[in-house]
Structure 1
Amino acid sequence: MDTLSHSGPSGRKLGAGRRNTALVGTPLLVAGVACAAANLRPAVTSLASVLEEVRVSVGAGETWAGLLTAVPAVCFGAAGVLAPKVGRSLGVARAIGAAMAVLTLGLLLRVLDGPWVVLAGTLVACAGIAVGNVLIPVVIKSAFPRRVGVVTGVYTAALAAGGGLGAALTSPLSTALGGWRGALAAWALLGAGALLVWSAGARHSDTEADVAAAAVVGRSLLRNRLAWTVTAFFGLQALVAYTVMGWMPELFVDAGLHRDTAGLMLAITSLIGVPVSLLVPPLAARARDQSAWIVGMTLIGGVGVLGLWLAPAAAPLLWAVLVGVGMSVFSLAVMVISLRTGNAADTATLSAMAQSLGYLIGALGPFAFGSLHSLTGGWTASLVLILAVIAVQAVVGHAAGRTRTV
């Protein structure tokens, strides 16, 4: 990242000004976006794949497990409110770099002690993730204005890949490294690597146009109906996604699958997002609107959840793939934040609103899902709840996908 601080023609320090100018949209910046994105899910999916092992090891109960699965979305919502202020203070490039550092520290912290340290470390890691969640779409809008669909696809594909690897590799790593602590700590290496690549790729332009930090001071959208529609869509898809990431392995284990196989199913669900995210956003960005894509992917996910309810052990791979397609609507949820805005200032404002409030909505899912499971002793009520959410998501997503701007 640029650290120049000498004076320019106007006499002001370039270091202070340049940190608030647009980033240069180079292939290396795309690599930085991808590496940062790859770190935005393993903190969640790696923990989900060894959740029962962690719970028993630290002597915690199921209520604690339900709270832990809700922590990421709560933190994404709460910390997301502060992300624009962090971006304005540090500059977007430095803010995302700091986010990667905080994420890495959180991943290391949470393996050091008992249940409350696990919670605290997860909170710290997710605070770093929250900043990346809000500010990376701003980078995409400002640095790649003519390639929003393509770069959004790269971003969401990398995010899905990271989530899939976290789910697939953590259980085997736990065996190889002598327990869950070493397995979860290993993901800090990915965070450190992302920080290096991001630092190399995030170069500021020499122009004053700016987008990124000016954006974070943008107009309020709290009275804008379309902004609330996009926020509701983002929140509903987050609710479904974080419920799946938090509880799918346990559901499959109860259905008779081995824990490693259950973790692999979650990995497949996440990894399906890689090809879908690379293919769908560029196509959807060129369409008249994105409503049909959003509704179609949402309903496919609904069929997968229906399968998990009626016959989870009959075709687990099929259900995992279908649910994965449904969860991949996240790529469109991110893209419509850019497409429903006319400039980077509004993109930053809508990104902060949609993600902070949206993730708070999403936090309700894992906790409600787990609570219903504890109360009923089965999965039926929990899965019916998710199916109802998916139905509402399809309606709201159709509205969010229509071509207009805030």
Structure 2
Amino acid sequence: MNSVPSQTRRPILLGLGIMLVAFNMRPALTTVGPLLERIRAETELSAAGVAFLTTLPVLCIGLACTLGPWVIRRLGPDRGVLLSVAIVALGSGLRGLGGTPPLFAGACLAAFGIGLSGVLLPGLVKRDFPGQTGVVTGLYTMVLCLGAAAGAGLSVPLADRLGGWPTALALWAAPAVLATLAWLPFAKARETVAGAARPRSLWRDPLAWQVTGFMGLQSSLAYIMFGWLPLVLHDRGLSAVDAGFVSSLMSIGQAPAALLVPSFAARVRDQRGFAAGLLGLCILSLVALVYGPLAWALPIGMALGAGLGGLFGLGLTIIVLRARDPGAAGNLAAMSQSVGYTVASLGPLSFGLAHDLTGTWAASTVLFCTIATGAFLCSLGAGRDRYVGKA
């Protein structure tokens, strides 16, 4: 039997490696929300402390993104991905020590690795799959959403079976270790770009800022839901297990949209219609979950997930489409995610504080809708068929 030529086998293996890395880009974030009540009870965290626990990891993602261009120049994107997923494994395992300091430190460390990998992957897709950017972006975004769903849905059952939330959280280091080992051959085999020329700065580019605004604000919607949806549903009367199950279904609902939206959006010249439809779906779904009948929580949660997953895939696709080459894609990814996730980190904090101050979820819902409106305004520029860095 003839062996598969290396030219064919290598992209396939590289694509599988990207999928393994992508799977580990959300469980460190989605595993905490369903366990918040237990964490609060055992650590005696205040409401503000819980808000910071859901906010600091997102802020760390933004801070990590600022290092993306430096890592690409010093290590190369392939070794950078290896470093990032190893950091995720270390941070996830650290949470197993129990107590408040390891919980916060592990969450922030894992988020740092997530942010770094998020900056590096769009450039890799642009470099290694130039003719299939929409398909590959959709695939790894779908796998990312499946990882988020696994984290949200399994955290409570694992805590019940393993005797507590620290062990359940630490267990998510295992798939990150597997991804680290799987990526090791690519980091050894591929050339680095140490000493490469710095790409053109985008900080004065209006289009880059529009992409950044869209990426940050739509991400804020997702992180609000990752951190607070289980508690919203629990307050409405669902058990912790059922609330976690709805949150898991929300993450599962992200996967089909995360796969399909990038594939279709990459085929058209203008992505503004996609943004408007997906943001409208998110607003309607959250309002229905907060004020509608709980009997409809499962399908509405999946609809919310479809909106959030589609928006995330659309954001990553826009980054690739608005860049002429891999260097510009990496530079735009670094800017849009460093600033964007820093802005996004304010969403979960503000959402929680609004509830803490008013005692209801009404003000928090209004805040969510306001953020979605801001994302739509940014998409009016970010979705147009132009390139960043044009003279």
Q: Which has the larger displacement, 218-227 or 308-317? A: 308-317
Please, which of 169, 172, 190 is the counterpart of residue 184 of structure 1?
Answer: 169
Question: Paired residue for 2:74?
Answer: 89
- Of 111, 124, 142 in structure 2, the residue corresponding to residue 157 of structure 1 is 142
Give matches, 1:242-257, under 5 Å: 242-257=223-238
2:116 equivalent in structure 1: 131
Most deviating of 386-395 and 338-347: 386-395
- Cα deviations across residues 223-275 of structure 1 (Å, max 9, x unaligned)? 00000000000010011110010000000000101111111111111111211
Per-residue deviation, residues 13-46 of structure 1 (Å, max 9, x unmatched): xxxxxxxxxxx96111111111101101000101
Alignment partners' CA distance in 1, 2:91 and 2:278: 33
Partner of 2:35: 50
Look up the match of 1:381. 363
Structure 1 pair 117–205 and aligned structure 2 pair: CA distance change class (3 A): closer
Output the TM-score relative to the length of structure 1.
0.90
Counterpart CA distance in 2 for 1:167 and 1:200 is: 31
1:109 aligns with 2:94: yes
Q: Distance in 2 between matches of 1:87 and 1:52?
A: 40
* Structure 1 residue identity aligned to 2:350: A
Check whether the contact 2:146–2:252 (CA below 8 A) recurs between aligned residues. yes
Aligned equivalent of 1:36: 21
1:111 is paired with a residue of what secondary structure? helix
1:201 Cα deviation (Å)? 4.7
- What is the identity, as a one-letter code, of the residue corresponding to 2:305? G
Alignment of structure 1 residues 3-402 onto 2, 5 Å: 26-201=11-186, 204=189, 217-311=198-292, 313-328=294-309, 329-402=311-384
Q: Is the 8 A contact 1:92 1:213 kept in 2?
A: no
For residues 166 and 327 of structure 1, do their structure 2 counterparts lie closer, same or farther at Cα, with a shift above 3 Å needed? same
CA distance in 2, matches of 1:162, 1:302: 24
CA deviations on 1:132-186 (whole Å, 9 max, x unpaired) are 0100111111111111001001110011000000000111001110111111111
Distance (whole Å) between structure 2 residues aligned to residue 217 and residue 171 of structure 1: 46
Please, which moves more after superposition, 121-130 or 394-403? 394-403
Q: Structure 2 counterpart of 1:311, which letter?
A: G
- The more displaced of 350-359 and 383-392 is 383-392
In the alignment, residue 286 of structure 1 is paired with which amino acid? R
- Give, in whole Å, the separation in 2 of the partners of 1:146 and 1:252: 43
List alignment gaps of at least 5 residues for structure 2.
1-8
Superposed CA RMSD? 1.7
Do the aligned partners of residues 224 and 200 (structure 1) sit closer, same or farther apart at CA in structure 2, a change above 3 Å counting?
A: same
Counterpart residue identity of residue 230, structure 2: P
Structure 1, unmatched stretches of 5+, are 1-23
Whole-Å separation in 2 of the counterparts to 1:398 and 1:25: 38
3-state SS of paired residue (2:323): coil
